[in-house]
Homo-oligomer: A and B are copies of this chain.
Amino acid sequence: MLMRDAVEPLSRSRYTAEASDWDHAAAACYFSEFTYKKGNEIYGEREPADYVYQIVSGAVRSYKLLPDGRRQIGAFHLEGDIFGLENDRRHRFTTEAIVETTVKLIRRHSLEALAEKNAGFALNLLTLTTDNLRHAENHMLLLGRKTAAERVAAFLLEMDGRVATTDVLALPMTRRDIADYLGLTIETVSRVLSRLEGAGILGFSGRTQRQIVLNDREQLRRLDQPN
């Protein structure tokens, strides 16, 4: 992995609430910025986890592969998200930029040093990890027990809550990414979306199929959490 060594001027930021003193901490650390082109790998599974990343702009997928190429995306990371924090010598996922993506890099070493001296900061790292764990736990339920329609509905609602939303949901990822996140195929994802469109629950905006208008979030919620 390449990275530039230009030091960024420090800047206040308005990222996740949990990371309230994150910026404060990061300010005390050496960090730089780097931009990845669409499709480029940020780090690979089992590579040394020397850096932690925070997305300035763009989107990232993190995934595992089986030897025969089947892929499971564990999470999407969007603007403001922190990823790559492993509390482990090596990364457990491969991550790639879904679109052109700029990240801030923080030396893992710096965080650890801070955590050892500052118990409050260590708890902060714990909170980040707990957030990831909660997400993974919910996703296990989705992958193990939900139907295709329920998965897609859950995905749309998740993204609706996370993407800086005007009135259209602008998805950065392809149908393949969505399918590999939901444990489905692209065809199934496409079919479910078409049916939802047919039912008037959502509509497509513009000529691309990645701009989605959610007309009936209540119905989506009912789909996601069946009785």
B-contacting residues of A (Cβ < 8 Å)? 64, 66-68, 70-72, 74, 86-88, 92-93, 115-120, 122-123, 125-127, 129-130, 132-134, 136-141, 143-146, 180, 182-183, 225-227
**Among all A-B residue pairs, the 3 with the closest Cβ atoms:** A144-B183, A122-B122, A136-B136
Known pairs A136-B140, A140-B139; A145 contacts B70 (CB<8 A): yes
The chain B residue sitting closest to A85, CB to CB, is B130
Contact: A64 with B136, CB < 8 Å?
A: no
Q: What chain B residues lie within 8 Å of A139 (beta carbons)?
A: 140
Total copies of the chain: 2
Cα–Cα distance between A92 and B130 once the two chains are bound (Å)? 11
Q: Which of B86, B123, B143, B145 contacts A122 (CB 8 A)?
A: B123
Contacting residues, chain B, for A87 (C-beta < 8 A): 126-127, 130
Instruction: Give the dominant DSSP class at A's interface.
Output: helix
The CA-CA distance from A102 to B190 in the complex, in Å, is 49
Measured in the bound complex, the distance between the Cα atoms of B45 and A224 in whole Å is 19
> Given A115-B119, A130-B87, does the pair A143, B146 have CB atoms closer than 8 Å?
no
23 A-B pairs with C-beta separation under 8 A: A64-B140, A66-B141, A66-B145, A68-B226, A68-B227, A70-B145, A72-B140, A74-B137, A87-B126, A115-B119, A117-B119, A119-B119, A122-B122, A122-B123, A125-B126, A126-B126, A132-B133, A133-B136, A136-B140, A139-B140, A140-B140, A143-B144, A144-B180
Nearest CB on B from A157, distance (A): 15
A144's closest neighbor in chain B, by CB? Answer: B183
Q: Is the beta-carbon distance between A74 and B122 smaller than 8 angstroms?
A: no
Closest beta carbon of chain B to A87's beta carbon, Å: 4
* Docked CA distance A64–B74 (Å): 19
